[in-house]
Amino acid sequence: MFRRGTTLVVIAGCILLTVLGSALSAQATPVAYKLSGLITAQGGDALPDAEVQYTSPDGVSRLLHTDSTGRYSFANLAASTGTLRVRHFGFEPKMIDVHVTSDDHAETVNVELETTARRLDAIESTADSVLMQDPRLRAFEERAESNGFGHYVRPERIAELRPVWTSDVLRGLPGVQLRPSTRLGNEVRIRGCMPLVWVDGNRMPGVELDDATHTNDVAAIEVYNSLSGVPARYTDRTATCGTILVWLKPR
């Protein structure tokens, strides 16, 4: 009888521990939320490569870009609330508060961006005036008109884009890739490695473009994917990953 009673007690104890363990495990499992949607322009056209940033209530941010169909998706979010910030070149940025309320802990949030108001005539007039007054920018303009080896970002284009980081104006240029930096802005890569940056004729080896410049100061940029076409004064045989020349606004 003693052995049988002991056995029953042990079995009952194991069952109780299993039930309690399952309950505690269920309580300890955090809820994972999902946020997804479509980013479009006015009129419904999808916006690929739009920047979408989710920030949780405790200040932790996650950043991604929409795919070729304009869609984004954040999975495994720890909070049901947060802030969504959406940006795309040529459009006004938008920030909205989000709250996941559905039973399946997933929410669809579609965002429509408004086109940036443009006064291109005024911008171009101002840009032309700046170019005519500054010899560095006159030289830039001459190369833009005659040197087919480079890619040129003129003052009016920078004004139109209203970039947050200088590197943002390089998106879409042939051979140029951007990836989020762990410091500031983006890391610029040409053929997978870091190009050499010059700022107003000053060589800055090993420095990222966004670390070396502020968007409000930049007047124009020229990008060379190889040594071909780089102006003689800025030719550096060690710059095998390309060269970026940045010209600042006259002071």
> Regarding predicted confidence, which is higher, 250 or 16?
250
Q: 3-class DSSP state for residue 117? A: coil
Task: Give the mean pLDDT of 12-32.
Answer: 58
- pLDDT of 184: 80
- Retrieve residue 67's tokens: 């795919």
- pLDDT of 46: 93
> Regarding predicted confidence, which is higher, 116 or 163?
163
**Class of 120-248 in CATH:** mainly beta
Q: Are 224 and 234 in contact (CB under 8 A)?
A: no
Task: Give the mean pLDDT of 18-47.
Answer: 76
- pLDDT of 248: 93
Q: Is the pLDDT of residue 1 over 50?
A: no
Q: Tell me the whole-structure pTM to 2 decimals.
A: 0.54
Distance separating alpha carbons of residues 114 and 80, to the nearest angstrom = 27
pLDDT more than 90, % of the chain: 49
CATH T-level assignment (fold) for domain 33-113: Immunoglobulin-like (2.60.40)
C-alpha to C-alpha distances, 241 to 86, 192, 211, 245, nearest whole angstrom? 31, 8, 18, 13
Q: Kindly state the helix (H) or strand (E) to which residue 142 belongs, with its residue range.
A: helix 135-146
Which pairing describes strands 243-248 and 196-199: parallel, antiparallel, or unpaired?
A: parallel
Task: Give the mean pLDDT of 43-51.
Answer: 90
What's the whole-number average pLDDT of the chain? 84
pLDDT digits 0-9 by tens, 56-102:
888 788 889 999 999 999 999 988 899 898 988 778 888 889 999 88
Distance separating alpha carbons of residues 128 and 145, to the nearest angstrom = 14
List the end-to-end C-alpha distance of the chain, in Å, as a whole number: 99
- Retrieve residue 34's tokens: 């999902």
Residues of the chain with CATH 2.60.40.1120: 33-113
C-alpha to C-alpha distances, 176 to 23, 35, 244, 246, nearest whole angstrom? 53, 30, 11, 15
Distance separating alpha carbons of residues 242 and 197, to the nearest angstrom = 9
pLDDT digits 0-9 by tens, 165-188:
999 999 989 999 999 888 788 999
> Regarding predicted confidence, which is higher, 22 or 232?
232
Q: Is the pLDDT of residue 164 over 50?
A: yes
Residues of the chain with CATH 2.170.130.10: 120-248
CA-CA-CA-CA torsion sign (216, 220, 223, 228): negative
